[in-house]
Every structure is written in structure tokens, then in C-alpha cells.
Structure 1
């Protein structure tokens, strides 16, 4: 076999990235992504250093500016980064901080003698962000001096500029523009800054974060005097089953016997609420999107403690299955804010921690504290137990419903699984197939004879269907009319429920029709049936409306005969316009119900794509319909009386009052 002449792989083929290229050519390694998410993480790296200073007691305010040109400024009132000459390293500190990866003041004594609990652990953030910037300007005040540094694309320009200052303040101000040559997207939205600063205010009690957005000219301030306790009270409002319960502790331990001992401290606040649920974990101020050790601890401890309480108080029914964490989570609002002097992050983006000691310590602490809490607060304990059991039983009912739905809606439309009175069309081309949902068996007959059997199918509605806004899912899926309709549509259902895991079977690619056409009489009963059908579609398959698959066939109100010619009018105004143009004797008939129409008339007015009138149903239309449906047929009796009193006169001509 001959070798490729261009694939010389030898000792000279091995190269290493040096200087700024270590970040600029591989930003994903440091920031987790070379896209917008990585660019956002760079902001967090700079912000982290200011937070570390404030948490050590140096400065109580951090300012952030989002500029129109997409540059960012972070300013703190800490001690100021040491940037002058370092005799021990025989280099300037600014070179170590801004130009050396894995350098900084957080490496001694596990996490550094200057920072006991540090958010910026790895000595990467400031340098990596500088390397990934089109430019970076740093201004530092410390020791009665002002220090200025300027960098462009990872290179220092002009060295360290140093001059005395009479300002008594100390601190660090860094402004940089993320480099489009490094990140594919640098347009960080305002919402990111708002979210990250609000979160940092929550877990750094008493620290003020001020955000100025140059684009909108707005200033946003975030401050929680009591940290997570104030945050939980804000979330829960007046809807909680229990008051906010606050816990804190401090301990020491190690992840393995041969590993160094480290310090852990954490605070937690929780309450139970049957309207809101939330779990958030922070470690050294970093939001743990994926949780890790704290999340595992909470799941284990809460299930163990609540299950024990249920068993001890004989609250389970005979042979009832044990609760799961999802039954607790449905009603739990909990925030943990933890700090440790050694932290094992899953990666540099700090979205999950893996410390075994942290997990074990939290699990033991929560088990013990929950047991004490239940003993000391018997009324709250009973509320929690009953709510968790209610969640569990609701989940189990939802699971039974899911199985029932799956059985009812699966299977093809063949002779063995036939939908009553459904009339199919011949073509298999979904892009042409139309399904008419018609009112009653009489309409079925005239539509069946008047249709084009090649591409138009029909299914009749036998009476009025359920109000799907009011009925629960069990009742809905016990309705043969509804399950038959869903079988014919073929795309499954979309269930909106907190227990909907595994319940949704919707797949628009399985829809058998290009158009779903609602065809009802132009009278009060017809309008009500149409509204009930729309409500069913809105609740069970809303995507079909969003994807513009649902139409209403507009039926004519009047048949106008002039000699041998027949005209159809769909409104009073249209009737008047037609009559004004006709000569000779004119006969006007109120249009009959669909079932009384001749097949030829059905084809001409309702089914012929060339002459019919179809109204596309949009999400806004359905929302307005739903609101009116709630008003006229729902439980708002006072609202209904008021509406009839004010608007009823407009609809007198549609009533059967003689």
C-alpha cells in the first residue's frame, strides 16, 4: 500500500499553542463554547473576581455597564488587583494576572490565604478573557496609585502606566470587547446580565449590584439584605403551605481518606407551596444549573425524611407505593447557598459540583434537621405530608390516564379498529388530504354525496362534545366522540400538566391531513358545536392551530334565486349587495341546515376549493373564542349576566324567540 505523500507525520509534526493562541484558537476548552454561551461565561469570570473581593469584606457594591458597541465594564471597590513588580516571581504581577493561565492569588492553603471561599478557583478567568478580547482596558486603584493597562487581541500595548492619585478609593475597573475572531456571537442580551446579577445578589446578602444598559438608558439595581431568605419570601408570596424555614451550618471533611481536609459551610431556605416549585443551588456564588452533589443530597434526604414521617403516622394506604422525589418537588421551593475551600467542579463552566464529602454532609444534615422540623412543627408536617401524598396520587392517576390514552389512540384505521361513520378518501398524499368534521348524520349524507372522494374525508359529530376546558383528562378520554376524532387525526395529544412526563404522544409528522375543516350549521347550535370543537383542539392539539392546519367552512346564510340563477350570501350586507344588482323577481330563502342542502349546493358552497370560503383559525382567534366560551358557558355567573345585559341586544336576530 502506498502512503499519501502529503501526510508526513514525524517529530516535527507535534506543535503546542503558545500565549494568547491557547485561548483564541480553542475558546471552548476554557469557556465551554465558542458561541454566545462562552462569551457570557467570560463575563462571569471577570464578575467572579469582584464578587470574591466583596465577599471577603472589601467593597459592598459592584457596577456593570452593557455598552451599545457590545463592550462590557465591571467595576468593584475592593482592594485592587496587585499589578506592580513581584520580587518572588521576578516579574510584574500584571503579567501573571492578565497574561498567564493558572496564575493568581488563590492557590495557597488549598484556596489561597487571601480568599477562603473563592468563586474564581482556577486562575484562568481574567487572563483567558483578556486573550479572547478585541481590547481590554484595566484601571486599578491601590496603595495611593492609579495603574492602567491596555491590551489588544491578547497583546499588551504600552506596558504598565502608573501615577499617584489623591483618590482614597480602591478597586478594579475592567472594560473589554469580546473578539468576534474568537466567539461566533458576542451580542450578549440584556436578560443575561439581569439574570446573573439578580442571582448574585440573592446569594451574596447585603451586596449591591448596579447594572447600566447604555442601549436602553435604564439602570437596574439588585439587592437582598437577607439573601436567600428574602428571595424565598419574594417567590412564595402569600400562597405557601408553610413559612420559610432557614438552616445553616459549617463543618469540615474530606472526599477520600488520602485527600486533604477542607471547610464547608452552607445555608438553605425552603418552604412548601402548591402553586410554585423551584430548586436552585449555588456554590461559592456560582449557580449550579445541573446541581450535582447538593441536588443528590436534597433528593435523598427529603425522600427519606418525609417517607419516614408518612410511615410513622400511618398516612400511607394499605399496599400504597412509596413516594418519589418528584412528588415532593412538585410543591417544594428550596435554595441552597454553599461554600467550600476545595471544590471539584464538573468542568470550568461551574454548572455542577462532584465533591463526595459535600453530598454526604448535606444529606446527613438535612435528614436530621427535617426530622427535628417535623417534630417541632406538627401542623406544618401534616400539611407537607398530605400535599406530597396528593401529588403522588395525582401523578399515579396521570400515569393511568397515559396508559389509557395510549391504548385508545394507537392502531391504524382498518376494519378491526374502525371509527364509527368515518368516511375516508382515496389518496394517500397527505399534502392533499382534507378532513371535514361535520354536524350530525344528516350533514354526513349531503357532504358525502357532495364531496370529491379523491381527497376529502368526513367524520360526523354525534351531538355536542364535552367542554374540554372544564373536564378532566379522564372524562375527556372516556368520550368516544373525542377519542374517535383524535384517532382520525392520527397525531396524538399534547397534555399540559405538571404530571405530563410520558403523557404527551403528539407528533405532527403523523397528522394524516393537510386541512382540518370544521363544518357546522350557521345557527346557535352550530356555533356552539364549532366553539366546543375549537376548544377541544386548543386544549388537546394546540400545535395544529399554530401550524395553520385548522379551518372553518363558512356556510351561506341566504339562498337568492333570480330566474334560473342562484346566488349565495354569507352575510346581510352581502345579501343586500347581490339583490341590488339583480333585475326581475328575486326570491330570498334563509339557508337550510347542512343536512337539508342538495349535494350540488354542498359542493359549490362548502367543499369546492375553487368556490368555497374557508376561515383560517389562528391562535389569537382561539384565545378570544376561549375567553368568550368561559364567559358564556363557564362558572362566571355575574360576568355572564353583565355581558347579556350590555351586549345581548346584538344577538336577538339569532335567537328562536318569536
Structure 2
């Protein structure tokens, strides 16, 4: 090291810096709310902010106070009003601005709460440009207002006629949550989950009412199509546990797991115990040593447990780490396993037609697995050889399924959530993305051309078709969804007819063989600009015709306009802007109640008269003669 380097890298008392709670949250928001994002993904930060505030309302309801919660989202302003006991007036400021302050450290007040570490609302406060809290309690109210965690106004305590409860209003900081927006389908799922886990609770979002009478039974009824179920949903309840189980006709395993009302998207000890306990119970009931994969194949299930002082693996509470249900109580494995051995076994004995239908589904899985065994071996050998010199996959450093290690474990977890794989067509598009991607968190998989239309085919084709086989190996989903290597699977194709066709073929592949990836919000479409409008002073990228017209009005009289038809036409330098922090992703979200097979049949099946009529009725040819086009533009 040179003398100059030694001087600039001095490490002494002056190098040590202490951050207060607000600075630390704003410096490392990922440690508290996971990834930031813009709202395109269900685990983006803005949904976590909303959840942290609502969790407090749910905890009040769980304790027997308050039967409904009102939420509004108006542009960027979010309000949440509950009708619980209300924050004690003398502690309103402390509860939302002092770390490790709250009632949930008193286990008598909140026996089985979600938020136990006193951080949630403080993080929301620190990450909002406006945060206002009002507590209504016994005819009095107290209000405090904050900006980025700093108290800006403390109102005097006054009399009120409002019902007891708490009101919170906040605006997420747009310098942190850039260009954020809420996806209604994600909000619907979030609010329905609250209601499924708290039967009788009424939630309102911008006037839309959510309420559930039958808990997890309602959840599975909403998530499945009755025509595709092999038997009616099994719904079992006990002290601190509730499960719902059925089998469908498709592939994969689909689970919804919850702890104390918290949707644990990454599962944890409770989900592992359920999967193991279910297999053990079925083997003992049928007195046959079925393969675990055959028992769980095409299962759709939900499990909810109530745990005293739960331990989660990160602040965002997406994965449970608790080994026991309560202090000095049974292990999670024994608690859930024993419940299934008793209640599920009893149910199957009382309902022989359901037991018979389940057995047929398991034995069908067994036959299909044995039929695939030979071809899987050959396909895997081919994939291993291909991977040695495979240029299809340009991998990244951090993966979704890696075990986080090191001192900055929360930072690693944040990177893992950002892990993304772009599926592209051709060398030009993959070349642009490869050169401009973030090598830590973004991988690229290149398609040779149009993939096979796999609608109506069996999973055998996934192994017989080299492209599909290499793709499933790249994603690491051959043995199941829990091995997924990338949190975000992004289909990146050209905005022309061929590109749209490839997009449809890939969507069919995922919906047909790996629907759990889609249903759990991992598959997206990359939106890239269609136009570049620029003059000598400014460049504007536009994603549709309306944005283009606005850009033309904003710039000089005759700006240069370029129409991007293919991703390969966008230079790597430009492409870096579209796959960075401002990346625009369109999530692939099937509408609730849609029959997946009917949908695929309509769009990807044989050319039916109804589809021909649809195309003719919706075919539009637009010619915009008023728009000046530069001679070099590709139109």
C-alpha cells in the first residue's frame, strides 16, 4: 500500500460513526422491510409498510378489540383506521418513534402477536415524508406528525366523540420508493389473507369490503377451481392450528402458510412440519410406503398456526424459525404432526370417498413418475454436459435459495430477494442485457428461437425438449418450487409479433407445468420503451403512444423519434436504465376464478372459431400520420 493510500484509509476513533434509529433505517431499509421495488412484486417495500401498520390493528382484533379496519389509498397517501383500544395517549410519540418501545414485550397484553420487536411502525415513520398518528381513547385524542421520523408537530390532547382506536396516515418517501404504485391484485391477496386468518374481521379498502366466515376453507376455494379439484377441500381446526387440503389436476405443490396471521411466503419450520406430517399420516392411513413426491404432487394446502413469541429469520417475517409452539411446549414438528395423525386420519376414515379420490391421485402421480424416470436420467445427463459449456445461462452471484451467511446476513437476504433471471430470445437481445445487467443479482438465459407450444402435453415434454429441460435446470425447479434459484423470472422479448408469440409460449410453459411459480408472484413481463424522443437538450423514453405524444409536445418542434422494435436495437448503455432501479415489470397474475386449462385452451389450443372471432373483433391498425419520424427511425 502506498503512503497516499495509507493516509486516505486511516482507521481511528474518528472513523467510528453512530447512527440514530432513523438514520439507520433510512441507510439500510432492506434490513427492516426487505427489498424496495416499485410495487410490481408482492414483497416490495410499499406493501410491507402497509402491512406493518395493519399488523398492529390485527393484533388488537386478535386480543378481542375492534371488529373492522378501514384503509384508503388515494394516490400516494395511505390511511389506516382501527377500532381497538387506541395507543395510550401519553405514549403516542414513543410508540412510533422509539425503537424497542411497545406493548408487545408484555406477553400478557399480546400473547400471540406478529410484531414483537418494536420496529414496524418506526420503520414506516422513518421511511415516510409524512407520518401522522392519532390515538382515540376514552373520549380523548392525541395526534403527532413526523417527517422522515423527525417529530414536526405535537398536538395538544383534546376531547373527541370518535370511537376508541388508532388512525395512521403516511406517504412513502419517493426518493426511496421510486415511481411506486400499488397493484390491486396484490392488495386483494393481502387483505383477503387477513380476513381468512381472522374469521369475522371486516376490512375495507377504498370502499371494497373483505370478510371471511370459514377461514382457510374460503382461502382454498378462492385459490382453486372447483372443476379441477379431485375431492372437496378438507378443512380441519384445532387449538392454535388450522389446515385446509386438496389435490388438483395440475403439477407442482402449492402452499399458503401463516404464523399469527402473518403470511410466511418463504415457509419455515411450520410448513416443513406440515409437509412431513402430511406424508407420514397418508402412509400410515393407506398402510403403504408411497413416495413423498407422489403424495404431495399437485397438492394445494394452507396451514396456519398460533405461536407464542415467534422467531422469524428476518425483520420482514417471511420465514418462521421457531422450533417450538410455546415455552416448554411441543416442538413444531410434533405439534403439527400429531394434529394431522389424529384429525386427518379421523377425517379420512369418516369420508371414504375422499380417501379413495386422494389415493387415485397419489397413484396417478406414482405412474407418471415411473414413466418419467428413464427419460429424466437421460435428460439430466444431457443437461450436465450442456452446462459445462452452456452459454445459454449467464449466472449471477446471489441466488434466492442460497443459505445466507456472513455478518451482513440481512444485506445478503436483501440481495437474494433481488435475484432475477431474464429469459431472452436470440443473441442480440441477450447480448444487450448481459452487458448492462448487475452481475450480482441478474442472470440471463438465452432462447434459441421460438419454444415449443406445450399446451395439452404431459410433463414428459419438459425432459424431451432440450430447451425446456435446460430452463428448468437453470431455475432449479425440477425437484420442486422450494429450490427456486431466482426470486424474479422475467420474460424479456421483443415488442413485435414474434416476440409476443414467444412470450405466450413461455407463459404457457409456466402455467402448464409450474403454476406455483406464477401463483406465488415470481413470473413477470419486462416492459421496455417503444420510443425514444430526443432533441439536443433532453432524451425521453416512452412506453406507449400517449407518452410519445406528450414527449413531442414537451420538446422542440421537430424532435428525433426512434421506434424500438427489438431489444437488440437498444444499446447496452441505454438498456442499463431499463433493468436497474427503475425497471418496469408487469406481473403475470391469473384472475381469481379463471379456469387455467380453459384459458390456455382458448389462447394456445387449436384454432377455434371463437378465437378467430375475437381476433377479428379486436384487430386494430393504427397509422399516425401527424407524428414526425426521423429518417433513421425503425417503424
TM-score bracket, normalised by the shorter chain, equals 0.5 to 0.7
Q: In structure 2, what is the Cα distance between the partners aligned to 1:146 and 1:470?
A: 62
Q: Is 1:334 the equivalent of 2:301?
A: yes
**Partner of residue 255, structure 2:** 279
**Partner of residue 88, structure 2:** 82
TM-superposed deviation, 1:97: 0.5
2:160 aligns with one of 160, 165, 168: 165
TM-superposed deviation, 1:491: 5.1
TM-superposed deviation, 1:405: 5.6
Matches within 5 A, 1:268-347: 268-274=243-249, 278-311=254-287, 322-347=289-314
Gaps of 5+ in 2: 39-43, 324-330, 387-425, 429-451, 481-503, 512-524, 527-599, 614-635
Matches within 5 A, 1:98-177: 98-108=96-106, 112-167=107-162, 169-177=163-171
2:103 aligns to what SS in structure 1? coil
Contact 1:179/1:186 (8 A) holds in 2: no
**Partner of residue 49, structure 1:** 56
2:20 aligns with one of 18, 21, 24: 18
Q: In structure 1, what is the Cα distance between the partners aligned to 2:147 and 2:507?
A: 55
Q: In structure 1, what is the Cα distance between the partners aligned to 2:154 and 2:17?
A: 29
Q: In structure 2, what is the Cα distance between the partners aligned to 1:164 and 1:537?
A: 61
Superposition CA RMSD, Å: 4.2
Change (3 A) 1:123 1:500: closer
2:478 aligns with one of 501, 510, 515: 501
TM-score w.r.t. length of structure 2: 0.59
TM-superposed deviation, 1:226: 2.0
Gaps of 5+ in 1: 85-92, 213-218, 251-264, 313-321, 413-429, 433-465, 478-482, 504-534, 548-621, 632-638, 644-658
Q: Is 1:9 the equivalent of 2:11?
A: yes
Q: Is 1:196 the equivalent of 2:184?
A: no
**Partner of residue 209, structure 2:** 221
- In the TM superposition, what whole-angstrom CA distance separates every residue of 1:453-494 from its partner, at most 9, and x where no partner exists? xxxxxxxxxxxxx998777677999xxxxx9xx8xxx85668
TM-superposed deviation, 1:174: 0.6
Contact 1:398/1:500 (8 A) holds in 2: no
Q: In structure 1, what is the Cα distance between the partners aligned to 2:187 and 2:603?
A: 39
**Partner of residue 380, structure 1:** 354
Give the aligned length.
Answer: 424
**Partner of residue 371, structure 2:** 397
1:210 aligns with one of 199, 204, 209: 204
TM-superposed deviation, 1:5: 1.2
Matches within 5 A, 1:48-67: 48-67=55-74
- In the TM superposition, what whole-angstrom CA distance separates every residue of 1:308-360 from its partner, at most 9, and x where no partner exists? 33435xxxxxxxxx533332333423211211222111111111112222233
TM-superposed deviation, 1:375: 3.0
**Partner of residue 453, structure 1:** none
Q: In structure 1, what is the Cα distance between the partners aligned to 2:131 and 2:302?
A: 36
TM-superposed deviation, 1:64: 1.1
Contact 2:111/2:309 (8 A) holds in 1: no
Contact 1:494/1:540 (8 A) holds in 2: no
Change (3 A) 1:630 1:150: closer
**Partner of residue 232, structure 2:** 243
TM-superposed deviation, 1:145: 0.9
TM-superposed deviation, 1:538: 12
Greater Rg, structure 1 or structure 2?
1
- Highest relative contact order (Cα 8 Å, sep 6+), 1 or 2? 2
Contact 1:151/1:157 (8 A) holds in 2: yes
TM-superposed deviation, 1:190: 3.0
TM-score w.r.t. length of structure 1: 0.57
TM-superposed deviation, 1:181: 3.4
Change (3 A) 1:431 1:77: closer
- In the TM superposition, what whole-angstrom CA distance separates every residue of 1:498-534 from its partner, at most 9, and x where no partner exists? x98379xxxxxxxxxxxxxxxxxxxxxxxxxxxxxxx
